[in-house]
Amino acid sequence: MKPDHGSALSEGGSTADRVKGTSAPLGSEGSAPALADGSAEGMIVAVDGPGGSGKSTVARELARRLGLRYLDTGAMYRAVTQLALERRIDIEDPQAVAELAERAVLSVGTDPDRPSIAVDGVSVDAEIRTRAVTNAVSAIAAVPAVRARLVAQQRQVIAATRPSGIVVEGRDIGSVVVPDAQIKVFLTASTEVRALRRSRQLGEKGVDDVARTLAELDRRDALDSSRAADPLAIPEGAIVLDSTALSVPEVVDEVLRRCGQSSNVTT
């Protein structure tokens, strides 16, 4: 079954109790179930990791290969951040940010070939990928009320994809958003490689640009890992892969191999 083109997020919705993730040594292998029957229909795949680890590209390719939908939860936090910057909201004011997130109407497209995000009906696909948004999003994402709001919406999207299934990527998917996901993946990579990847995404090639991105990644890693609400953590039972020296196809093949899924299966 192929993914649909999108799913609108409605306002409201309660948030279930959140579950803290537990750390595991890098290189460990989780207890993800085998996919011996070759079918991924109805499956939820959680892909977590820090910025530049390759999780967005890998998650989209997994969705394509398995015939599932795709949700980029980071884009939702970025959309709220972009709105806050546009309206000159103080991102260090938790109440103002929470009120903004409560009022904003987000719409996401869940087709892995054409993922999209809109705020109040206006597309912000390009705007949310700027350096300004990247550097401000951790402050927005650290606000507990914002996380509660967006996690509730993310769960609505995931529930709406049943029975087709979905690949969801972010920083707290396997530990908080869907701790009961059938497959959990945690991607990592060296900070240097992640900085190089992120600089290329921004269209920057200079040594100074990469060094600046490296410092920004270090700062964001520290903020995301130490925040009080749903910090970045390796989910219990996750497949942990270091993508430093691996291509996207190699990472995807390894995930599918560890899950007992033939790498050339499409559904």
| pLDDT for 262 | 39
Nearest to 81 by CA among 209, 181, 201, 220: 220
CATH architecture of the domain covering 7-12+26-32+39-256: 3-Layer(aba) Sandwich (3.40)
Average pLDDT, integer, range 250-255: 90
| pLDDT for 207 | 65
Q: Are 187 and 254 in contact (CB under 8 A)?
A: no
Average pLDDT, integer, range 32-55: 74
Average pLDDT, integer, range 80-89: 97
Lowest-confidence pick of 5-19, 197-211, 221-235: 5-19
Distance CA 110, CA 116 (A): 7
Q: Which pLDDT band, with edges at 50, 70 and 90, does 126 fall under? A: very high
| pLDDT for 153 | 96
| pLDDT for 30 | 39
Q: Which pLDDT band, with edges at 50, 70 and 90, does 39 fall under? A: low
pLDDT reading at 29 higher than 50: no
| pLDDT for 130 | 92
| pLDDT for 257 | 87
Burial 56-83 (b: 16+ CB within 10 A, else e): bbbbbbbbbbbbbbbbbbbbbbbbbbbb
- Report the mean per-residue pLDDT for the chain: 81
| pLDDT for 28 | 33
Give me the amino acid identity at 234. I
Average pLDDT, integer, range 225-250: 86
| pLDDT for 205 | 65
Q: Are 242 and 26 in contact (CB under 8 A)?
A: yes
Average pLDDT, integer, range 183-203: 83
